[in-house]
Amino acid sequence: MHRYYNTTAYWREHGSLIPKKGAIIVYTDAGSAVVDGQTVHYEKVKVGNGINYVNDLRFLGDFEGKELLDHINDQIRHITAEERAKWNHKLDLEPEEVAGRTLLLTREFFNEQNS
């Protein structure tokens, strides 16, 4: 999946680009709101269809855009609990695996049946 992040000014200048189908185009400063007296900019999202110019694509609704960005940025849901446990403990050492001041490492090999 292709993701493209840039400002509204950038996308206005490059509005004749035709994003690939499914490409996510993020306008990093497309909207703003005043929060506690300060202007806060927020992102808006378009999805390419492989036919229309980026300027001609419509923005996703606020809800859909937020859901999509939250999903993309979610560092937890994109791997399984098993993968996470394996990666989090990729190098676990027992005291007997350290001989004096020498660290002994072994490599776990996988074949197609074990992967």
Q: Return the closest-CA partner of residue 51 out of 86, 22, 14.
A: 22
State pLDDT tens for residues 9-56.
999 999 899 999 999 999 999 888 888 999 988 888 999 999 999 999
User: At residue 41, what are phi and psi to the nearest 5 degrees?
Assistant: -90, 145
Mean pLDDT of the chain: 80
What's the whole-model pTM score? 0.54
Longest dimension (CA), the chain: 67
The domains of the chain are located at 3-73
In whole angstroms, give the CA distance from residue 90 to residue 19.
39
What's the CA gap between 71 and 73, in Å, rounded? 5
Residues in the chain: 115
